[in-house]
Chain A
Amino acid sequence: MDRGKDPKKKTGRWGLKAKLILSMLLVGVIPLLVGLVMAFLQGSQRIREVSGESFKTLATETARKLDLVVGEEMVRASRIATDPVIISELEKRRDMLRDLSQDQRQTLLLEHATHWQAKDRTLVKTVVESKLANLLHRYYVGSSYDSDQPLPQVARSATKALFLTDSTGSLVASLTPDVPYAHGHTPWWQGAYNKGVGTPYIEDVLFDDRVGAYVFTISLPVMDSLRYEAVGVVHRVLDAKEFFSPLTHPIRFGKTGHAMLIDSRGIVISCPILPTGVRLADAALIPLVTLLQPGWVNAPSDGHGGQTRSIIGFAHLPEASRATNGSLEAGAWHTFVWQSSDELFAPVRHLLTWILAFGLVAVGLLACLGYVAASRIVTPIRRLQEAAMLIGRGELREPVTIQTGDELEDLAVEINRMNTQLEAAFAGLTDQVERKTQEVQYLQKATDEILDSVPDPIIMLDLDEKVQYLNQASKDAFNLQQADMKTASLFELLRIDEPSRDKLRNELRALDNLASEGCEPVSAARPRSSGRDVRDPLTPQLTSASSADRKELHIGKSVYQYEWFRISTPPGEAPRLGLVLRDATEEARLQDQLIHTEKLASLGVLSAGIGHELNNPLFGVMGLGEAIQDETDLNQVKVYAKDIIQHGKRMAAIIQDFTGLARAGIKGRSVQVDLNTELSEALKLAQLTGEGASLEIRTDYRPVPTIYARPEELRQAFTNVIMNAVQAMKGIGMLSVTTGVTDGMIEVRIRDSGPGIPRPYLHKVFDPFFTTKKQGEGTGLGLTTTRRIVMKCGGHIQIQSEEGRGTLCLITFPVTAPSPEREEPK
C-alpha cells in the first residue's frame, strides 16, 4: 500500500459515490431515452398506419359516393338515350342519311354546318326548338323523369350543355344554340359511338371556352330499337367544380384534412384547397395515388406544394372509371385524401414533449434518491477503507463498528477478526525475521572470515569483469585497499601481461556463454593424466607448448595457478564468477630443480650403460694390445689385430646405436604412411638374417588407413620388434604379422612362438639399456626407441607375454592421423 498518498486526495478519478449516482442515473435515463425514442417511432408508425387506413377508408367511401352520383347522372342520360321518341327520330334520320349517296350526304351535312355557323335561324330553330329539343328540355328540367326521381338542382345548374347528335356526329337537338354543329371528329363522340357499337364515355376535365370553366362531359350512345347499333349520341357538359364541390368540399377533418377528386393525369377535378384544372405539384406523386386499388401511401410530398412526407389515402371510382375515356385502362378518376403532417403528428409531438418533461423530473428525483442511497452505501465502505489502511500500517487499535445489518456489517466483523489474527501473526513473525536476519549476518560474517583465512587470493566478479569481492589474501597479495575494489575492473587490480589478460577474458567469455546456454560450467583445469607416466629422460620436455595451456599467471615475480568457479545467484540477478589464485612460485622452482636432477640421473644411467657396453671390448682391445707387444709371430699378431678390429667394430656399433637413439628422426618429413608396406619392408630385412630365413612366417595384412609419420622411423620400429622376435626364436618357430582395424583403432600384431619374457622382466622391457640378451648381442635400446616412435605417431605399444608360450607385441594407432604440426621439436 502506498502510505504516502491518501486516496481521498487523489484527483482526476471518480469516487464510488459518483459512480453509484451515475449508474443509477444511467439505469434510469437510458431506458427512458430508449423508451422515448421507441414510443416516438412506434407512435409515429402507428399513427401513419392508422391514419393511412383511415384515409384509405375515407377515400374509398368518397369514391363510392362520387361514383354513385356520377352513375346517377349517367342513368339520367341513359333515360334520354333510351327514350323511344328519340330512338325513333334518330332511326329515321339514319335511314334518311343512308338513302343519300355519299356525296349528297356530305354536301348536306356541310351545308347544315355552314348554316349553323352562320346561325341560320331556320336551322337553329330546327335544332333548338324541335320536338327532340323540347324533349331534351323536359329531361333537363326534370318533368320527363318519374316523380320520385327529380333532377337535383345541383345537377341542373351544373349542366352547361345538353344535346343530341345523329350517327354522323351532326347536331340534331340541343338546349342551347351555343354548341358546335359537327362532332364526328371529337374524342367523346368517337368514343361513345364506337363504330356503331356504342359505349358510355366520360371525358376528363378540360377547360371549355364557351362555358368559361373546367367541365367534364358524359356521352351515351343512343342505340336503335333493336339495340343493334348506335343511331346517335346524347352529350351532356357539366361544370366540374359546380357539380362535385357540394360533394367533396364538406369532407373536411382537422384544419387541413380534406378529400379531393383527380383524374389519372393528376388534374384536380374538385378540391377544397386547389383550384379545378391544376395539376398536382409533384409529378412523381401521381403514379403513387392513381392505382386501381384503394390504398394509402407515405408519399414524399403532399401534392399541395409541400415537400414534407405525407400520408395520402386514395381510391378510384369503380363504375364511373369504366367509362372515363372509354375504358378503365384509358384513365380513371381517383379520390385523394390528405392531411398536413404537422397536424397529423401533432399529438405524438405533444405527447413526446410531456413525456420528456416528466422524464426530466424523474431523472431529477432519481439523482436525489441515488445521492441518498449512494451515501448510505459509501459511508460504511469509506470507514472500512480507512480501517484497512490502518491495518496496513498496523495502527488499527479500535475495532470497526458498522451497524447496517447487511453484508457491510459482516465485512466489518471479518476485518476486525482479520486484524486480530494479523496482530498475533505479526508478533511472532517479527521475532523470526530478526532471528533469521541475525543468522544471515552471522553466516555472511563467517563466510567472510573463512574466505579471509584462506591463504590463496579469491576474487569475485561479474561478467563485466567488475570486481565485487576480494578476500584478505587478495588484498595482501596485490597491495589493495578497500577503496580500490569499488568499480574496479579485474585487470586494473591484476597487473598481468596482454596475452594472459586475453586468455583470462576468453575463459571468462566461455564461462559466460556456458552460463547463458544453461550448461554446467566445465572446469578450465587441464585434466589430469591417468596411468603411469613413463618418462624418457632423454626425451626433451615440451615446455614451450604446455606452458600456454597451463593455468598460470605471472604477476610481478610471482607465479600463480588459478581456477574459475561459478557462484550461485538468486534468480534475476546477474551471474557471478569466482577466481581462485594459488601462489605456485616455490612449486615451479622445485619442479625445475626436480627436472634438472632427473636429467642428471638419466645421464648417469646412460653413462653407466655406455661404459658398461664399451668396457668389455675395451678390455679386450687392451688385452690383445698387450699380447701383441709380447708376440713375435706376425701371423699371430695379425690374428690379434683382427680381433682388435672386431672389438672396435663392436664399440662402433654400440656408439652408433646410442647415436641413433639420440638423434633418430632428425632427417625426413612426416608423410602418409601405409603400415602394411612398412611391415613388409621390415619383415624382408629380418629375413635377410640367418635366423630369420628358417622361420615360418605368416602374414595377414588387412586394408588399414594410412597414418601420418616418418616412414623410416616406422620401419625401424617394426624392425626392432620383429628382430627381437626372430632373435628370441633362435631360428625355430613361427612369426605371425597381422594388421587390421578394431574399435576405430589400427592394430598391428607381431606374435612369435619363442620362449616368452619372464614376468619380472615384463615391466622393464621398455626401460633404456634393459636387455635379456647376452653381452654384445643387444644394447637394450630397441624397444625404448620403438615405443618413442609409436607414441610420437599417437599410438600405443603393449607387450603381452607368458613364459614358454611366446610373446605378442600389440601396436595400435588412431585412425585419425596426428596433425603435421605435431612434430617432435628439434
Chain B
Amino acid sequence: MKTAKRQTAWWVPAGLIMATVGFWGLSSAARDSGGSGKIAPEKVAEYVHAVIEADRTIYTTHVVDRMQEKGITSAVEHWEQQNALPLPAQFLQYSGRVAAEKGSGIRYRLISLWPIYQRNAPAAEFERKGLEAVISQPQRPFTGTVTSGQKQFFQAIYADTAITKACVSCHNAHPLSPKRDFKLNDVMGGIVITIPLP
C-alpha cells in the first residue's frame, strides 16, 4: 500500500508540471498574439499536445524502457497491485485526470475506436469523426467547437500512434482488446484536448 502510494505520488507533480507548462503556453501564446490579448484555441491545443506528447515520450523511453531493460521493474496494467510502473497510456490518462482535478478547465484524454475499456470510447459523434479523420490523416489534428448544453468547448483530436513495440504487443494481446492486428506506427487512437470557450 505504501509503495503504491509512493508510485502514485510521483505522477501528481508530473501532472502539475504539465498543467503549469500548459498555462505557460497559454499565457505566452497570449503575449505572442499581439495587441488583441487573445490566443486561438487551436494554438493552445497545439501547445498542450506538444507538452503531453513530450512528457509521455520521455516517460516511455527514459523511464519505462530503461527500467525494463535493466530488469528493475516493468510497466503493467495492474501496476498498483504488482508494485510496477503504469503503462504509458495509463500515464497519460492519469496525468489528464490530475490536471482536470486541478480545476483549470482543460481536459485531455485518450480515446479510441477500439478501446479496451468502454470508458475510453468516443463520448460523442464529434470525437468519433475526429478519430476517423486522424486515422486517415494522422499528421493533421481534427478540431472544432462543440457544445454541452449551453456551454461551448473547443476540441482538438490528435492521432495517437503506436510508437513502440510494447504498445502494439500489449493491445494485440489484451483479452478485452477488440482489435488485435496493430502494427508499429499505426494510429491506435487519439488524444482529445478539450478547452472551454468563454
Q: B-contacting residues of A (Cβ < 8 Å)?
A: 88, 91-92, 94-95, 98, 194-197, 223-229, 292-293, 316, 318, 328-329
Contact = CB atoms under 8 A, between A and B. Distances in A.
B40 interface: no
A100 to B, nearest CB: 13
Given A95-B149, A196-B100, 11 more contacts: A91-B149, A95-B151, A224-B149, A225-B148, A226-B148, A228-B153, A228-B194, A292-B1, A328-B80, A328-B81, A329-B1
Contacts of B148: 91, 224-226, 228-229
Interface string B93-134: 000010011010001010000000000000110000000000
A329 B5 contact: yes
Contacts of B124: 225-227
Nearest to A195: B101
Interface string B72-84: 0000001011000
B155 interface: yes
B123 A197 contact: no
B153 A194 contact: no
A226 B1 contact: no
B123 A292 contact: no
Given A197-B97, A318-B81, A226 B153 contact: yes
A195 B155 contact: no
Contacts of B149: 88, 91-92, 94-95, 224-225
B123 A223 contact: yes
B101 A197 contact: yes
Given A226-B155, A292-B1, A95 B150 contact: yes
A92 B151 CA distance: 10
Contact of B146 (A195, A226, A318): A226
Contacts of B5: 329
Contacts of A225: 123-124, 148-149
A192 to B, nearest CB: 13
Interface of B: 1, 4-5, 8, 78, 80-81, 97, 100-101, 103, 107, 109, 123-124, 146, 148-151, 153, 155, 194, 196
A79 to B, nearest CB: 11
A83 to B, nearest CB: 14
Given A195-B103, A318-B81, A226 B194 contact: yes
A328 B2 CA distance: 11
- Best-surrounded residue of A95, A98, A227 (most CB of chain B within 10 A): A227
Contacts, number: 59
A329 B12 CA distance: 15
A199 to B, nearest CB: 8
Contacts of A226: 123-124, 146, 148, 153, 155, 194
Contacts of A194: 101
A194 B146 CA distance: 23
A194 B78 CA distance: 22
Contacts of A227: 109, 123-124
Secondary structure at chain B's binding surface: helix, strand, loop or mixed?
A: mixed
Contacts of A91: 148-149
Most buried by B among A95, A225, A293: A225
Contacts of A197: 97, 100-101
Nearest to B97: A197
A230 to B, nearest CB: 10
Nearest to A331: B1
5 contacts: A196-B100, A224-B149, A226-B124, A228-B107, A329-B1
Contacts of A318: 78, 81
Nearest to A327: B8
Which 7 A-B pairs give the minimum distances between C-beta atoms? A227-B123, A91-B149, A224-B148, A197-B100, A95-B150, A95-B149, A226-B148
Contacts of B123: 223, 225-227
B152 to A, nearest CB: 10
B102 to A, nearest CB: 9
Contact of A292 (B81, B146, B153, B196): B81
Contacts of B196: 228
A229 B101 CA distance: 10
A149 to B, nearest CB: 14
Nearest to A91: B149
Nearest to B81: A292
A226 B155 CA distance: 10
A93 B65 CA distance: 47
Contacts of B109: 227
A196 B80 CA distance: 24
A72 to B, nearest CB: 14
A223 B155 CA distance: 16
B194 to A, nearest CB: 5
A316 B4 CA distance: 15
A328 B4 contact: yes
A260 to B, nearest CB: 21
B81 A293 contact: yes
A223 B150 CA distance: 15
A226 B5 CA distance: 31
A227 B110 CA distance: 12
A384 to B, nearest CB: 76
Contact of B4 (A88, A92, A223, A292): A292
Contacts of B8: 329
B150 A292 contact: no
Nearest to A292: B81
Contacts of A196: 100, 103
A818 B97 CA distance: 128
A316 B101 CA distance: 27
B120 to A, nearest CB: 10
A650 to B, nearest CB: 143
Greatest chain B CB density within 10 A among A194, A197, A224, A228 is at A228
A226 B123 CA distance: 6
Contacts of B80: 292, 328-329
Nearest to B195: A228
A293 B3 CA distance: 13
A229 B195 CA distance: 12
A632 B22 CA distance: 189
A324 to B, nearest CB: 13
A88 B151 CA distance: 12
A90 to B, nearest CB: 9
B101, B148, B153: which has the most chain A beta carbons within 10 Å?
B148
B21 to A, nearest CB: 20
Nearest to B111: A227
B25 to A, nearest CB: 20
A361 B196 CA distance: 90
Nearest to B8: A329
A676 B100 CA distance: 135
Contacts of B101: 194-195, 197
A354 B8 CA distance: 57
A98 B150 CA distance: 10
A357 B4 CA distance: 55
A33 B148 CA distance: 82
